[in-house]
Structure 1
């Protein structure tokens, strides 16, 4: 069996790749592994379980809850809430671990399952590997140890999670948002209630898009992967800016008053300067990834802020932040982690902090984001290829070397197998957009021929 866990939990087509049996089995395995690791420390374990609005989340949640309770874990069902809300509540409620059912920005047929350790932190790779091993041992015949009688877990609904999480978001803001008009695109996802409520309580005038989830429309032509709607709406309503979330709201992208995108790198740049001014940018350092735009790196150098770059994936950004005590990190895609207030990327919190900076300075978002100039960057996704051979293909290596020689010091090439989908991402950055597109298209053709 190949590794189930990708860079952000286990994902696949619900009821095909991610079945009720798999969700149940992984939940039982996680309970056993965390017990073996001493996480429960002799007490009766407790878990927080949440989900996004996907229809498949209903049966998968039932499977997870059944698995946990059968393993002797008490379950608090918090219902439809963002991923960062489940992480926050795992810590705030003193739970031993949390479980979130979501496929984030993926299309509706997909779903996913991710686990949080005590405190709301993602499981370390070695614990995920152990969960897989224990699950596979059971799948191939090794029986579970099953509690009986009073030893089985109890299940209850925890309705206070919504207000508790919104109160947390409002409580960390440095100032109110009075006078701002903001468009929010919720992607018909997990933040459809949370984000508008938080922005409204903070004082903003809110216009919402994509806030009517029906279980089937999540990420469908809206949200952070489809910015066309929010760009038009911001201009139409004369809003100060817009914030777009993905399905589980662990990230956000922004749109300025003219309808131009403000990506994760630009958001990081704005927040880095705000936090430095407030004295909360520990180590005068921000953490990004190898996908961070060269323009972001140049801006941070100009401002005297150090940039640490990691592999792609917010889990690797978080690991670097925790290891060195840094306060701010994130990805170009809009995963932004403010470690003093969240244990994972939090799109609603990020949007609120960005809005607070606009309100506090009286400057436009476009003006604030102008601290960096994005160099043209082209990203091409090549599906249905053997992503495991990216690092070993001689044909691909030769093509990359040729492209890098052509681009010289003003550009770069990055090939990356997706951690959540069966595809390879080709990224080309250059001073000239036409050159970047030409090189990216050529490399994508080589990826298809070499790895197809």
Structure 2
């Protein structure tokens, strides 16, 4: 089984994800990403390679980042230690200082005992599968062993946060003056930088989930737990609530009444705004197969094309890069604005969403009305082989469900990439119909 998953190497810290593994992975990364024309040119001029390393506030991030930095420095790579920062900040900084690559220590929205190692190539882009395989193979091979003055240095990246904040503020089409924003930072990596940035953009800010202790990340707060944010927005009479996850590469929102605005709705709002400003390349939005049918309907009505990919922001980014598209993302709140970021950026997304509220002088509910959300029911059928998703009896049941739904819904069966499980997703004009058809199809999948 591959060491790398859909978003780096992830697991229980000090379980499968040990300091030894982190060090060896860093050494292998130096071997593989230290190759190439630019790296050779730098060495020819006597310069060492440079890597940016950052982490979220999990307590295990301390020893894992130390191990990664040791592995890189022992391989002759200079390390810029950016401390605790969001994943998209690390990605931005790699390009901003022209580093050769970077490493982010985070398990995103997972609970505190987990952690992960995400590797970014030059420019702050995620690694292709083929490069990840080469790094995994290199873990068993010879390492770089410079001595004396050729070993790498580890230095504090003292202005990392300032660079990122200035970048975010420079991206805004409109200031946030007059808006009252509640931020839920998930006790994560954005706990310091997000409130600072929103205030600098002109918003009145109330913050929850901004007291990380290394163990409370994502615990009852953040984009996977929106109840507290909804309640706080209503309690203080704010205009909008913005929720990040642990490493702040996601953004979900709630309106002034505490109603959830998901990633599909945020994409719809931003796509229309960018189209109107001539910034939506080829009037196209990139979304995944899990995006709501309502998004497709709304974009069609606006004359915007939607291209779909497999689930995962890396696949969204690949399609965006191929087509040079400017906006894409997932229902979960991973949104990529390619003019400003190489990965999902929850702060960037939240800022631009609020900027549209301020620019158009409309409430979030008014902006979100561009899209009608179809009820979506997801049933996970566990303990079945992936092949059940395309078995003849299942295909016949899906065809019958699609005939019943017509243009008022859709069906998607998706085998899990990591478990013996098939996911059955049904959208319909009403929740009762979606639930009934999803349960019928799940029964057929179970056989």
How does the TM-score come out when normalised to structure 2? 0.93
Give the whole-Å Cα distance in 1 for the aligned partners of 2:226 and 2:381: 22
* 1:419 shift after superposition: 5.7
C-alpha distance in 2, partners of 1:370/1:25? 50
Residue 56 and residue 343 in structure 1: after superposition, are their counterparts in 2 closer, same or farther (change >3 A)? same
> What displacement does 1:39 show?
5.0
Q: Distance in 2 between matches of 1:312 and 1:282?
A: 22
Contact kept? 1:400, 1:413, Cα under 8 Å: no
Q: Distance in 1 between matches of 2:250 and 2:49?
A: 30
The secondary structure found in structure 2 opposite 1:41 is helix
Distance 1:370 1:26, change over 3 A: same
Q: 2:286 maps to what in 1?
A: 287
Say which of 43, 50, 55 aligns to 1:46: 50
Which of these residues, 134, 138, 157, is aligned with residue 134 of structure 1?
Answer: 138
Match of residue 95 from structure 1: 99
| Residue 430 of structure 1: how far off its partner (Å) | 1.8
> 2 CA distance for matches of 1:23 and 1:234?
40
The residue number in structure 2 matching 1:414 is 412
Residue 427 of structure 1 is matched in structure 2 by: 425
SS at match of 1:266: helix
Corresponding position of 2:436 = 438
Judge conservation of contact 2:186–2:223 (CA < 8 Å) in 1: yes
- Among 118, 121, 125, the residue aligned to 2:125: 121
Give 5+ residue unaligned stretches, structure 1: none
- Residue 198 of structure 1 corresponds to 197
**Contact 1:380 / 1:444 at 8 angstroms: preserved in 2?**
yes
Question: 1:31 matched to which residue of 2?
Answer: 30
State the alpha-carbon separation in 2 of the partners of residues 405 and 416 from structure 1: 18
Q: Distance in 1 between matches of 2:226 and 2:6?
A: 25
Say if 1:171 and 1:309 are closer, same or farther in 2 by CA, change over 3 A. same
- In structure 1, how many angstroms separate the alpha carbons of the residues matched to 2:168 and 2:416? 31
- What residue in structure 2 maps to residue 399 of structure 1? 394
1:7 touches 1:419 (CA, 8 Å); kept in 2? no
1:439 is displaced (CA, Å) by 3.6
Figure out how many residues of one structure are paired with residues of the other and give that number.
Answer: 439
* Contact kept? 2:389, 2:414, Cα under 8 Å: no
**1:125, CA displacement in angstroms?**
1.5
* Of 299-308 and 32-41, the range deviating more from structure 2: 32-41
Whether 2:369 is the aligned partner of 1:370: answer yes
Matches within 5 A, 1:210-225: 210-225=209-224
Q: 2:64 aligns with which of 60, 67, 87?
A: 60
Against the structure 1 CA distance between its residues 69 and 375, is the aligned structure 2 distance closer, same or farther, given a 3 Å change threshold? same
RMSD: 1.9
Q: Distance in 2 between matches of 1:425 and 1:215?
A: 33
The answer as to whether partners of 2:27 and 2:144 remain within 8 angstroms in 1 is no
The corresponding residue for 2:154 is 155
**Offset at 1:147?**
1.1
Q: What is the rounded CA distance, in whole Å, between the counterparts of 2:348 and 2:418 in structure 1?
A: 24
Number of the residue aligned with 1:10: 9
- Residues 34 and 258 of structure 1: is their aligned pair in 2 closer, same or farther, counting only changes over 3 Å? same
Q: TM-score, normalization: structure 1?
A: 0.92
Q: Cα distance 1:430–1:68, how it changes in 2: closer, same or farther (>3 A)?
A: same
The alpha-carbon distance between structure 1 residues 164 and 424, as it changes in their structure 2 partners (threshold 3 A), is: farther
Check conservation: 1:188, 1:217, Cα contact below 8 A. yes
Q: Is 1:325–2:329 an aligned residue pair?
A: no
**What SS does structure 2 have at the residue aligned with 1:106?**
coil
SS in 2 for 1:111: strand
- CA–CA separation in structure 1 for the residues paired with 2:442 and 2:63: 38
In structure 1, what is the equivalent of residue 172 of structure 2? 173
Change (3 A) 1:114 1:411: same
Structure 1 residues 279, 411: CA separation in 2 closer, same or farther (over 3 Å shift)? same
**TM-fit CA distance, 1:13:** 1.1
1:400–1:443 contact (8 Å) kept in structure 2: no
User: 1:290-330 CA deviation, whole Å, 9 max, x = no partner?
Assistant: 11111100111110011111111111111111111111111
Q: Deviations over 1:407-440 (max 9, x none)?
A: 4323333333556788654422222212322343
What residue is the counterpart of 1:360 in the other structure? 359
SS at match of 2:210: coil
Note if contact 2:376-2:426 (Cα within 8 Å) is conserved in structure 1: yes
Q: 1:69 aligns with which of 68, 73, 98?
A: 73
8 A contact 1:8–1:420 mirrored in 2: no
Q: CA deviation at 1:150?
A: 1.3
> In 1, Cα distance between the equivalents of 2:380 and 2:163?
39
| Contact 2:401/2:411 (<8 A) preserved | no
**Is the CA contact (8 Å cut-off) linking 2:288 and 2:308 kept in structure 1?**
yes
Q: Over residues 12-49 of structure 1, what are the superposed CA-to-partner deviations in whole Å (9 max), with x where a residue is unaligned?
A: 11111211111111111111011234451332210000
